[in-house]
Structure 1
Amino acid sequence: MQIFEVSEKRLKRILINHRFTLFLLLVSIIELLLRYFLRNFVTEDYTIFLQSWFKTIKHMGGVIALKGQVGDYNILYQFAISLLTYIPIRNLYLYKLLSTIFDFLMAISASYLTVRLMNTSEDENKKIFALTYALVLSLPTVFFNSGLWAQCDSIYTTFILLSLLMLIKEKYVYSFISLGVAFAFKFQTIFIMPFFLFVWLIKKRIYIWHFLIIILTFWLSGLPAYIFGRDLLAPFKIYLNQTHTYNHLFMNYYNFSGLIGAKGNTPQNFYQLSKAFILITMLVLIIGYMYLLYIDKFSNFSLIGVATWTIYTCVVFLPSIHERYAYPVDILLLIIAIVNKKYLIVAVPELINTFLSYDRYLFKNTPNIVILSYIVSRAVLNCRFMAV
């Protein structure tokens, strides 16, 4: 009996001493199982778009398909999908697997960014890292996005987080390279660009040529396609074409455009009001930045707050914002709420709002558009709360 007691005590001591590693391992296993059990969920996006794109790329010979445009994603994501066509697994699972891998990379990036902002003791850093890692992976909009929807928003968000991490570490070249990669995966990376222009104004060691790194990185992302004869301006043309795809102000995400209500969400109103919404967005950003320029010194936390507010402002006031475009906002709001609990008052309503917008698309539920749009629009206008 005494031998068993000694062994049990030893086991407990081992578990406690390795609690950080064991916690990460258990969370990772549970999160993988969660996504595994969602693997057969099929959405309209998959049946109408993703499935046919995959089959077309495979039929055209995998990577050889890069000689032409398939779907509306840019070349780097098309290249990733072309590589997946060589794996003899159902393409639905391959889409979800790719996004799931980046779910975990995004969680790791978010955890490092949070730890950097906290800058506490080693033991405390481990706790913060583990908490952030678990919460990011457990957000419904994260595992719904990859596990149910087979969407790729965790990919470009990972590189946005890395860009911000490199920024506060003052490794500016790497920051702008990461931003270029994020932009190569998704056009909505542009929502954070006003923030980097603001940082250019306040940081002495950031120069105009840093922005050329973004363009060069983005252009180089098309290299696999150039090899097969694609136009050297193809990556730019793909995004230019995307800007003419939608003709409704409200595209499921509850924002300022939702205040017009379901009946006002017509193509006619889009053509009449969309440019006004863009100008309103610019005005809100300019007013906010003018206020912020009177702050003498920005902490790293303040910079991340401004970055969050910038993207949040864009998704709240711009027209034709889809439910998934707020994905980076949700991750950044979670990070700053972990660092400072007072930001929960902004983070929680936004996370609920995004989840409800997912719910509207995935399960066809219809919450009150105007009420939710009012709540989110009011939250984003609190510039001081987000930045100080």
Structure 2
Amino acid sequence: MHIIEKKSQFRFADNTEDLSETDNFPRFPWLRKHLFPITLISITILAFLLRVCMYRFESYDFDHYLIKWYMQMQAGGGLFALRQPLSGCNYTLAYLVLLTPYIALHTSALAAVKSTSIAADFLLAASCALLMHTVVKSDKSRRFWCTVVYTAVLLFPNTFIDSALWGQCDSIYTSFCIFAVYFLMRRKNIPACAMLGFAFAFKLQAIFILPLFIFAFVSDNRFHLKNMLAVPAAIILACLPALLTGSPLYMLYKPYKTQVGVCASLDYCCPGVSTFLVKFPFSLFKNAQILFVLTCMFAALLLLVHTQRRMDKIQLLLMGTWSSLFCVTFLPCMHNRYIFVPDILLLLLVFAGRSKGDAICLFAESTVSILSWMNFLKKGYTPIPMPVLALIRFGCVLWLTLRVWQELHFGMVPADGTKENLPRFRWLNQYLLGIGLVGITIFAFGIRLAFYPFKSADFLSFVQKWYEQLEAGGGLTALQNPLLRFNYTLPYVMLLSPFAALHFSALTAVKAISVLADYVLAVGCAFLLKAVVPPCHSRKYWCAVVYASVLMIPETFFDSALWGQCDAIYAALCIFSLYFLMKRKNFSACILFGLALAFKLQSVFLLPLFIFVFFTDRRFRLYHFVGIPAGVIIASLPAVCCGAPLSMIWQPYLTQTSKSTQLSANSPNAAAFFGRLPFTEMRNVLIFFTISCLLVMLALLLYRGRCLTPFQILLLGAWSSFFCVCFLPCMHDRYAFLPDMLLLVLAFVSYKKSAVICAATEIVVSLLSWLFCLEFPYQPIPMPALALVRLSCLVWLTLRLWYVLKRPEKDKPLELEPLYSLSE
């Protein structure tokens, strides 16, 4: 994406015929000639006065930490006090060196801290203006945009609240981060690495732009690995005065080790994914979150390698903004001020790209940051609940992710053919698909392995007891016992029996089956996309992307590796049945649907689709439906042959339906609004309403009188299953698992931003509804609010389905050639 220069012209509809020649000139022409320097001086003075107004405020951090460390330095004689670590101090040596001249001048601690931070604000504004100078191409408007950015940074509330009010030093390391990005844009990689080293010397949080350097190394053949030696050199140079006066070398890294070592909580008032995980054990999610971020960065790196093109300046800025914001949102142990660098980069992206969506994203993200700071500025004050702020930040991350995806598709700069401008690792492209699949598979397994020790309430209360009965009975032969009681289906218990016979632990057996089913589900979704999308060069890459997405969305590994549930089994069988339905192999589709039904009763949500296809496709015969009970019997046959009574085939279904006494069992659907109304009457109302709407859809399909295409089958399957979950009574929280997977595949097939937003929103709704059971009784967002969001997704899906059925020729699946054909 390139900058589109827009000339601002002010036109006045006045009559100049009667004016003299002198009257045609504007007032104060000399002022216009010197407008930019006058503006810069005025803004600088006003910004300084704004910060002076906040001088007297002493934050909690200053009263309890900073003033004590400053007094220790005063007592020790400034730089000489740094010969040994200050008691309880976790600030870096480079920052303490900056404070030592104030000690020699006998300046108060408040003046020293705040004057350093305020001076860094102006350095930050200058660095941002310099970066804008290299981004803007037009010489006429360059000075104007540099002045605008300088002004915006100084008046940005996040900057003066952080420095002048809070007395923090985030502007220092952020300035060096901006200088580093500036030199990367100029392709001066040694100064860029040096600036990264200076930033790292002041704050460990400078590591959040390290992914940008890795992206630049892959994208730019001029970037050599030896350039990174400038990073440690700059760190030593920043701390050189203290080292020359006798500070030990270990003080260079001791603050980093201290900051990492004292982390004992997933969340430190930073709105992000950790906000919803505060009740989980710290050790359980810490490694999983780190692996998740590494996997996403690995996927972005593979996508960048696959483009075989070099990033331009705007794309460097976009990738830096996205990667840093993604890290802060998903990594554990994040503090509220760690978002400072992403916010400044997002501010620059708004002025560089001039996109309305980026501007809205900046407003939302900066507001979230300021509101999350209030708890530290005024202890205990949180005007907006932290989960709400986290959801807004998720929206910003989703927007930037879509922007990165769009830029990597259509905006990459072609290499000019010279050796130094060709992208790195061009030879790797032919092996990229295999490397990506293996890497994602290993990373996904690592995330699931991190969740292995967790035992959910369902596991402790039910599954473990049933497994112990199986183990005591010798595995499959235990099913002969008529006293054996469980509400899991016979095929699933049959899968557990070999583990019981081999005396594996219950936790290992349950989670091994569920995790394996995740991979089968991912393969099934890839096959489903392959059936929908017409053959093309890049279809195999899209299948790999879908495979990776299914494995990496939190809903799949929360369900299997954390919760130990088996929803991936029936969902995978339903996906494969859809695949065969698209291939017009209807009997095979019915058998697979029967197998899915044998594992979970919730597979019935896909039954309306089979009825729709039966009425619209002549090749779908009535006898094909025999495959459904045949699949159920086939799945249960080994257990029956081993002595299990036939009644155990349908006993779990009867148990599940007869014990339902709530309109909504923690499921955010329409029934969540009617919890206080009579159960029997509202249950019947919701059932008949759902059946009526499905019959209306059948009538519409019959009136249309056309056979369904694979894309329409996918869309109709997602709609029918999602509609059932949204309106049927007695729905549990995990019943939306299959519709969510179909929506995810639909998002890639449709290739529309609205489809991606709908799928992402629905997955977040499902995860938030699960927290009530996983972290009982934690419910960060009220269930009716989640139900409204889910119903909004259903409305979008219904409108999309209506449009596709009404005008099929104008809404087709992805005509896939956007994944970078090298012949372009």
TM over 0.5: yes
| 1:222–1:234 Cα contact (<8 Å) kept | no
- CA change 1:186–1:34 in 2 (3 A) is same
Task: Find out whether 1:90 has 2:519 as its counterpart.
Answer: no
Q: For residue 54 of structure 1, what is the aligned residue in structure 2?
A: 467
* Deviation at residue 243 of structure 1 after TM alignment: 0.9
Q: Tell me how far apart the structure 2 counterparts of residues 88 and 238 of structure 1 sit (CA, whole Å).
A: 25
- CA change 1:57–1:88 in 2 (3 A) is closer
Q: Tell me how far apart the structure 2 counterparts of residues 284 and 346 of structure 1 sit (CA, whole Å).
A: 21
Task: Find out whether 1:271 has 2:680 as its counterpart.
Answer: yes
Q: For residue 4 of structure 1, what is the aligned residue in structure 2?
A: none
Q: Tell me how far apart the structure 2 counterparts of residues 13 and 76 of structure 1 sit (CA, whole Å).
A: 48
| 1:160–1:189 Cα contact (<8 Å) kept | yes
Q: Which runs of 5+ in 1 are unaligned?
A: 1-8
Q: Tell me how far apart the structure 1 counterparts of residues 640 and 560 of structure 2 sit (CA, whole Å).
A: 29
Q: For residue 672 of structure 2, what is the aligned residue in structure 1?
A: 258
Q: Tell me how far apart the structure 2 counterparts of residues 174 and 85 of structure 1 sit (CA, whole Å).
A: 32
Give matches, 1:233-248, under 5 Å.
233-248=647-662
* Deviation at residue 275 of structure 1 after TM alignment: 1.4
Amino acid at match of 1:36: L
* Deviation at residue 20 of structure 1 after TM alignment: 0.1
Q: For residue 531 of structure 2, what is the aligned residue in structure 1?
A: 116
Equivalent position SS for 1:71: coil
Amino acid at match of 1:225: A
Amino acid at match of 1:316: C
Q: Tell me how far apart the structure 1 counterparts of residues 451 and 502 of structure 2 sit (CA, whole Å).
A: 20
Q: Tell me how far apart the structure 1 counterparts of residues 784 and 559 of structure 2 sit (CA, whole Å).
A: 24
Q: For residue 615 of structure 2, what is the aligned residue in structure 1?
A: 201
For structure 1, which segment, 362-371 or 73-82, has the greater mean C-alpha deviation from structure 2 after superposition? Answer: 362-371
Task: Find out whether 1:355 has 2:767 as its counterpart.
Answer: yes
Q: Taking structure 2 as the reference length, what is the TM-score of the superposition?
A: 0.44
Q: Tell me how far apart the structure 2 counterparts of residues 87 and 60 of structure 1 sit (CA, whole Å).
A: 12
Task: Find out whether 1:29 has 2:442 as its counterpart.
Answer: yes
CA displacement, residues 20-54 of structure 1 (integer Å, 9 cap, x when unaligned): 00000000000000000110111100000111111
- CA change 1:80–1:240 in 2 (3 A) is same
| 1:260–1:370 Cα contact (<8 Å) kept | no
| 2:595–2:634 Cα contact (<8 Å) kept | no
CA displacement, residues 121-174 of structure 1 (integer Å, 9 cap, x when unaligned): 13x112101110111011111000011000000000010000000111111121
For structure 1, which segment, 225-234 or 82-91, has the greater mean C-alpha deviation from structure 2 after superposition? Answer: 225-234
Q: Tell me how far apart the structure 2 counterparts of residues 91 and 241 of structure 1 sit (CA, whole Å).
A: 23
CA displacement, residues 339-373 of structure 1 (integer Å, 9 cap, x when unaligned): 11242243222111111111222123321222221
Q: For residue 740 of structure 2, what is the aligned residue in structure 1?
A: 330
Q: For residue 454 of structure 2, what is the aligned residue in structure 1?
A: 41
Q: Tell me how far apart the structure 1 counterparts of residues 612 and 529 of structure 2 sit (CA, whole Å).
A: 22
Amino acid at match of 2:758: V
Task: Find out whether 1:151 has 2:565 as its counterpart.
Answer: yes
Select the residue among 6, 20, 34 that pairs with 2:433.
Answer: 20
Amino acid at match of 2:738: P
Q: Tell me how far apart the structure 2 counterparts of residues 303 and 318 of structure 1 sit (CA, whole Å).
A: 22
Q: For residue 519 of structure 2, what is the aligned residue in structure 1?
A: 104
Q: Tell me how far apart the structure 2 counterparts of residues 33 and 84 of structure 1 sit (CA, whole Å).
A: 22
| 2:769–2:783 Cα contact (<8 Å) kept | no
For structure 1, which segment, 148-157 or 340-349, has the greater mean C-alpha deviation from structure 2 after superposition? Answer: 340-349
Decide which structure has greater helix share.
Answer: 1
* Deviation at residue 227 of structure 1 after TM alignment: 2.0
* Deviation at residue 229 of structure 1 after TM alignment: 3.3
Q: For residue 722 of structure 2, what is the aligned residue in structure 1?
A: 312
* Deviation at residue 277 of structure 1 after TM alignment: 1.2
Q: Tell me how far apart the structure 2 counterparts of residues 255 and 21 of structure 1 sit (CA, whole Å).
A: 41
Amino acid at match of 2:508: Y
For structure 1, which segment, 140-149 or 210-219, has the greater mean C-alpha deviation from structure 2 after superposition? Answer: 210-219
- CA change 1:300–1:196 in 2 (3 A) is same
* Deviation at residue 85 of structure 1 after TM alignment: 0.8
* Deviation at residue 17 of structure 1 after TM alignment: 1.6
Aligned-pair identity (%)? 29
Flag the structure with more relative contact order, 1 or 2, with Cα contacts below 8 A and sequence separation at least 6: 1
* Deviation at residue 14 of structure 1 after TM alignment: 4.9
Amino acid at match of 2:518: D
Q: Which runs of 5+ in 2 are unaligned?
A: 1-421, 805-824
* Deviation at residue 71 of structure 1 after TM alignment: 1.3
Q: Tell me how far apart the structure 2 counterparts of residues 301 and 113 of structure 1 sit (CA, whole Å).
A: 10
Amino acid at match of 2:708: F
* Deviation at residue 292 of structure 1 after TM alignment: 3.1
| 1:99–1:154 Cα contact (<8 Å) kept | yes
Equivalent position SS for 1:209: helix
Q: Tell me how far apart the structure 2 counterparts of residues 12 and 384 of structure 1 sit (CA, whole Å).
A: 45
Equivalent position SS for 1:243: helix
Q: For residue 629 of structure 2, what is the aligned residue in structure 1?
A: 215
Q: Tell me how far apart the structure 2 counterparts of residues 210 and 326 of structure 1 sit (CA, whole Å).
A: 27
| 2:477–2:643 Cα contact (<8 Å) kept | no
Q: For residue 298 of structure 1, what is the aligned residue in structure 2?
A: 708
CA displacement, residues 180-201 of structure 1 (integer Å, 9 cap, x when unaligned): 1101111111111111111110
Q: Tell me how far apart the structure 1 counterparts of residues 656 and 674 of structure 2 sit (CA, whole Å).
A: 24
Q: Tell me how far apart the structure 2 counterparts of residues 329 and 354 of structure 1 sit (CA, whole Å).
A: 11
Give matches, 1:216-231, under 5 Å.
216-231=630-645
Task: Find out whether 1:344 has 2:756 as its counterpart.
Answer: yes
Q: For residue 337 of structure 2, what is the aligned residue in structure 1?
A: none
Q: Tell me how far apart the structure 2 counterparts of residues 159 and 194 of structure 1 sit (CA, whole Å).
A: 16
Q: Please tell me whether Structure 1 or Structure 2 has the larger radius of gyration of its CA atoms.
A: 2
- RMSD (Å), alpha carbons: 1.9
Task: Find out whether 1:365 has 2:775 as its counterpart.
Answer: no
Give matches, 1:151-190, under 5 Å.
151-190=565-604
Amino acid at match of 2:468: K
Q: Tell me how far apart the structure 2 counterparts of residues 21 and 70 of structure 1 sit (CA, whole Å).
A: 46
Q: Tell me how far apart the structure 2 counterparts of residues 359 and 106 of structure 1 sit (CA, whole Å).
A: 23
- CA change 1:358–1:215 in 2 (3 A) is same
Q: Taking structure 1 as the reference length, what is the TM-score of the superposition?
A: 0.91
Q: Tell me how far apart the structure 2 counterparts of residues 153 and 145 of structure 1 sit (CA, whole Å).
A: 7
Q: Tell me how far apart the structure 1 counterparts of residues 678 and 508 of structure 2 sit (CA, whole Å).
A: 39
